[in-house]
Amino acid sequence: MTGTLGARLDEATRHLPAPLAVVDLDALDANATDLVRRAQGTPIRVASKSVRVRHVLDQVLARPGFAGVMAYSLREALWLAREGVDDVLMGYPTVDTGALDELAADPRAAAAVTLMVDDVAQVELAASAAAAHGAHLRICLDIDASLRLRLGPVGAHLGVRRSPVHGPADAAALALAATRRDGIEVRGVMFYEAQVAGLPDTSAAVRAVKRLSIRDLATRRRAVVDAVQDAVGHPLGLVNSGGSGSVGSSVSDPTVTEVTAGSGLFVPTLFDGYRSFEPRPAAFFGLDVVRVPAPGYATAFGGGYIASGPAAKTRLPRPVWPGGLALTGREGAGEVQTPLRLGAGTDLRVGDRVWFRHAKAGEVMERFETVHLVRGEIVDASVPTYRGEGRTFG
């Protein structure tokens, strides 16, 4: 974070109390433009979990190159559909029978929402809801995009433990089982290559895994799509792939009809190490200094916004303005206050504001009811987060 940006945020929010969340619209615009450039004409579906601000979702969807939302909760998907989003793909399976019943009972929502499945049990729940209301529900098959390697008796699984459906035979069997259920239509397939999209280019080993994964998927993705189309008897309307870190490699496969991106809009700290794009941080939160406990230290109010994932320093928020600040090793980001160690030449006084970046994109928005959208040195708008609209989805 440059001094110019820090000074701009200070000036724009001087009249606002902290803790507060901001999005720098200039950076957001540049990130959205860059995603569209990397997508090379392939539509980009916005991952809502990495935004969690409906106003920002609407603004991004209004831009050329973006189409549809990937939701993380069925109740969220229902809400977005009722608020006017006409294409919502679930990113994860659901066993929320109440929400499935709502979906099947609402023709507008059923036409907008596509469910995600990777198990016949999930299909059965959707089929039961569809049967109860004479509805037609669409599903997408979640395909495991991890890289599986085997050297003799030794095997390796490189990627997340996500779907049990990995190859063409698995996918065809699930698709065939789904087509035999009344009220269920297989719309498409999804491949989320987390080991490509979700890992920064931090080492030669990581880059090698990415290259092998891209090569594997270039063959396996086509085979899976062909097998599923043969099983269901019609072309698939949706082949979703990628994430913010793998947009370029995903769209190089002509089988892919759309890519998903979300974190690339806000660019949290976990995305700093990518070589495939220029990281432009757009989301920040500000805390005010409430005490100076000793020379070389200052304490800010709030700040314990730890990201999900393995318990590690990479999940901690990072102080970025003024420069030369660091969390203390003993206390880290605190429950109600965050001590900071000051580097040489850095001076903080009671009442000064400190700006942080979160490790993940959308999670920090769960801590705030309002996010302030800054352009230049002015707050362009103050809009509610999901939480500010009284919505939390887990």
CA–CA gap between residue 282 and residue 278 (Å, rounded): 12
Instruction: Give me 142's structure tokens.
Output: 């979640």
Q: Of the candidates 363, 323, 314, 359, which has an alpha carbon nearest to the alpha carbon of residue 341?
A: 323
CA 212 to CA 210: how far, in whole Å? 5
**What's the pLDDT score for residue 210?**
63
User: How would you write the pLDDT of the chain (394 residues) with one tens digit per residue?
Assistant: 676 889 999 999 999 999 999 999 999 999 999 999 999 999 999 999 999 999 999 999 999 999 999 999 999 999 999 999 999 999 999 999 999 999 999 999 999 999 999 999 999 999 999 999 999 999 999 998 777 655 555 555 556 678 889 899 999 999 999 999 999 999 999 998 765 545 555 666 556 566 677 677 878 899 999 999 999 999 999 999 988 888 888 888 899 999 999 999 999 999 887 777 788 999 999 999 999 999 999 999 999 999 998 889 999 999 999 999 999 999 999 999 999 999 988 999 999 999 999 999 999 999 999 999 999 999 999 999 999 999 999 8
Q: Residues 225, 145: contact at Cβ < 8 Å?
A: no
DSSP helix/strand/coil, 366: helix
Q: Which two tokens stand for residue 331?
A: 């206390």
User: Given the DSSP bridges, would you call strands 137-143 and 184-191 parallel, antiparallel or unpaired?
Assistant: parallel
Q: How many residues does the chain have?
A: 394
**How far is 321 from 14, CA to CA, in rounded Å?**
15
Helix, strand or coil for residue 263? helix
Per-residue DSSP letter, 307: P
Map out the domains of the chain with their CATH numbers. Answer: 25-266 (3.20.20.10), 283-385 (2.40.37.20)
Cα–Cα distances (Å) from 298 to 20, 21, 291, 340, 356, in that order, read: 18, 20, 6, 5, 14
What pLDDT score was predicted for residue 279? 80
- Helix (H, G, I), strand (E, B), or coil: what is residue 114? strand
Dmax (CA) for the chain in angstroms is: 72
Residue of 17, 27, 90, 34 lying closest to 56 (CA atoms): 27
- Between CA 94 and CA 72 the distance in angstroms is 9
Position 126 scores a pLDDT of 98
pTM assigned to the model: 0.90
Helix (H) or strand (E) holding 373: strand 370-375
CA gap 29, 175 in Å, rounded: 39
Our separate counts of H helices and E strands in the chain read: 12, 19
Rounded Cα–Cα distance for residues 30 and 18 (Å): 27
pLDDT at position 205 is 58
